[in-house]
Chains A and B, each alone.
Chain A
């Protein structure tokens, strides 16, 4: 079976963390892989430069969904700068991936691209 579908990825893909929306987000950011039909929209509450709450909605494959779920965990309580500095390598480590196929990298990094829309 494909090494891509690690337990941790499947778990996040099927039970994504922080899935939903916020009533009064201070920031709403969004990006998409039009060619795949993947879309991620994130809702953030930022207070005194810290991300105090985060929810997200989206459609996409298991990889982009798991990635968004993990990213939402990782950025909670962090500053905008450190959220934007989150790397692909860090994310892959969290997911238990040693490598990512070139055809699936864009799925993995979509949530990171979303974060780049922060001011």
Chain B
């Protein structure tokens, strides 16, 4: 059966990702539904990285020679390109390894100095561990209070609870996920930012799962901090970013010291380079920055509005299909318009690892486990869940293949 996929042409897009033509287990077409863990990379990204290493390899900032100039230019152009993709100014983007490092880095660079006894830091019950654990530990270190926005029965953040916390007048920062990697909930960032701003509270948004799927305009979104991973948005592994509102950057101090981030060093004292270079110590991953810029160009060529529409169509389709599979219970919001990127489910009395293993034998790659969201899984009493997640190359046919393969689970476990 052929489907109309709207604005994206899935046949053309799939061809851009050579890995997707792999055949596995002898004769199975690879159906990659684990893009929330990491996305596949298009040829344009792979070529950009190879081109950098083949023709332009040199350290940045210092080599006064042709390669040094080219490499430095390429690094700054990549940074500007990536920042523009997110609607941020180039000097608001601090390139880091991934979302986890960006969130932890922000805590060291800002929270360590601006949060103390008597303050309240807020995270949520649907966070990935990387936007939960660092705040929990900060609170222990600083002797401040760690509060958690509860998750409602329908898999949404309880914003009334957040309002009560904000009304208490002690909250310093609210850290929350834009799109949940487990329930797929697309949280109302603008609303939460508005609530926080009224209370004069800093907002930190984990954008790991939103950046790949929707147009992001950092300034329009209004949050103070937005963290993302390149490898989930068809870019290379090992590069991501921390975007920080310009005014807030002034309140931050570097936490890694060494090459590239200094202005002047004497025996007695050190002064730092300008923002954002002072936050990046050591040789940066130039090739990955170039690769991520190529990924941004690739996504822009597809048009992020169309990428978002494509994802919305897949989520709606997967939700409908999976809700009708015997023994399957979908987790998270049942309203497709409140979701993004993935659909996870529980298979009655079969452990998620067994489900994933059997799906794999049919060529289908999914993620199983708690997806680094243990507080969320405990809240709902799920031992583990199975997640199908999407990206620009995902098609309705892929979801059909998943639904068909779920029949095998039933056969093996004789349901």
Q: Are B351 and A35 in contact (CB under 8 A)?
A: no
Q: Are A35 and B353 in contact (CB under 8 A)?
A: no
Q: Are B353 and A63 in contact (CB under 8 A)?
A: yes
Q: Is B142 an interface residue (CB 8 A)?
A: no
Least CB separation from B355: chain A residue = A61
- State how many angstroms separate the Cβ of A109 from the closest Cβ of chain B: 14
Chain B residues lying within 8 Å of A38, measured Cβ to Cβ, are 351, 383
Report how far A34 CA is from B384 CA in the complex, Å.
10
Report how far A5 CA is from B370 CA in the complex, Å.
23
Q: Are B384 and A37 in contact (CB under 8 A)?
A: yes
Report how far A5 CA is from B351 CA in the complex, Å.
13
Q: Are B413 and A2 in contact (CB under 8 A)?
A: no
Given A37-B377, A61-B351, do A4 and B357 touch, yes or no (CB 8 Å)? Answer: yes
Q: Are B412 and A5 in contact (CB under 8 A)?
A: yes
Q: Are A107 and B353 in contact (CB under 8 A)?
A: yes
Q: Are A2 and B369 in contact (CB under 8 A)?
A: no
Least CB separation from B360: chain A residue = A2
Least CB separation from A107: chain B residue = B353
Q: Are A1 and B353 in contact (CB under 8 A)?
A: no
Q: Are B408 and A1 in contact (CB under 8 A)?
A: yes
Per-position 1/0 for B215-240, Cβ under 8 A of A: 00000000000000000000000000
Q: Are B383 and A10 in contact (CB under 8 A)?
A: no
Report how far A59 CA is from B377 CA in the complex, Å.
15
Q: Is the interface of A mostly helix, strand, loop or mixed?
A: loop
By size class, the interface of chain A is 10 to 19
Interface positions of A from 14 to 67, Cβ below 8 Å from B: 14, 34-38, 59-63
Chain A residues lying within 8 Å of B383, measured Cβ to Cβ, are 37-38, 59-60
Q: Is B374 an interface residue (CB 8 A)?
A: yes
Chain A residues lying within 8 Å of B413, measured Cβ to Cβ, are 10, 14, 62
Q: Are B357 and A37 in contact (CB under 8 A)?
A: no
Q: Is A104 an interface residue (CB 8 A)?
A: yes
Given A36-B384, A37-B369, A37-B370, do A61 and B353 touch, yes or no (CB 8 Å)? Answer: yes
Chain B residues lying within 8 Å of A35, measured Cβ to Cβ, are 369-370
Q: Are A10 and B412 in contact (CB under 8 A)?
A: yes
Least CB separation from B384: chain A residue = A37
Report how far A107 CA is from B351 CA in the complex, Å.
11
Q: Is B361 an interface residue (CB 8 A)?
A: yes
The count of residues in chain B whose C-beta lies closer than 8 Å to any C-beta of chain A is: 20
Q: Is B95 an interface residue (CB 8 A)?
A: no
Q: Are B361 and A2 in contact (CB under 8 A)?
A: yes
Chain B residues lying within 8 Å of A59, measured Cβ to Cβ, are 383
Report how far A5 CA is from B360 CA in the complex, Å.
13
Report how far A104 CA is from B352 CA in the complex, Å.
12
Report how far A59 CA is from B408 CA in the complex, Å.
22
Q: Is B196 an interface residue (CB 8 A)?
A: no
Q: Are B361 and A61 in contact (CB under 8 A)?
A: no
Least CB separation from A101: chain B residue = B357
- State how many angstroms separate the Cβ of B404 from the closest Cβ of chain A: 14
Chain B residues lying within 8 Å of A62, measured Cβ to Cβ, are 350-351, 354, 413
Least CB separation from A3: chain B residue = B361
Per-position 1/0 for B376-415, Cβ under 8 A of A: 0100001110000000000000000000000010001110
Interface positions of A from 73 to 110, Cβ below 8 Å from B: 104, 107
Report how far A60 CA is from B368 CA in the complex, Å.
13
Report how far A34 CA is from B129 CA in the complex, Å.
14
Least CB separation from B377: chain A residue = A37
Report how far A36 CA is from B368 CA in the complex, Å.
8
Interface positions of B from 352 to 376, Cβ below 8 Å from A: 352-354, 357-358, 360-361, 369-370, 374
Report how far A14 CA is from B413 CA in the complex, Å.
8
Q: Are B361 and A36 in contact (CB under 8 A)?
A: no
- State how many angstroms separate the Cβ of B355 from the closest Cβ of chain A: 9
Least CB separation from A106: chain B residue = B353
Q: Are A5 and B353 in contact (CB under 8 A)?
A: no
Q: Are B374 and A34 in contact (CB under 8 A)?
A: yes
Least CB separation from B351: chain A residue = A61
Q: Are A2 and B358 in contact (CB under 8 A)?
A: yes
Chain A residues lying within 8 Å of B353, measured Cβ to Cβ, are 36, 61, 63, 104, 107
- State how many angstroms separate the Cβ of A6 from the closest Cβ of chain B: 11
Report how far A10 CA is from B411 CA in the complex, Å.
12
Report how far A36 CA is from B240 CA in the complex, Å.
27
Q: Are B412 and A1 in contact (CB under 8 A)?
A: yes
Given A5-B412, A10-B412, A36-B384, do A61 and B354 touch, yes or no (CB 8 Å)? Answer: yes
Give 11 A-B contacts (CB < 8 Å), ordered by A residue: A1-B358, A1-B361, A14-B413, A36-B369, A37-B370, A37-B384, A59-B383, A60-B383, A61-B353, A61-B354, A62-B354
**A residues adjacent to B (C-beta < 8 A):** 1-2, 4-5, 10, 14, 34-38, 59-63, 104, 107
Q: A14-B414, A37-B383, A61-B351 are in contact. List 8 more A-B contacts (CB 8 A).
A: A5-B354, A5-B358, A35-B370, A36-B369, A37-B351, A37-B352, A61-B354, A63-B354
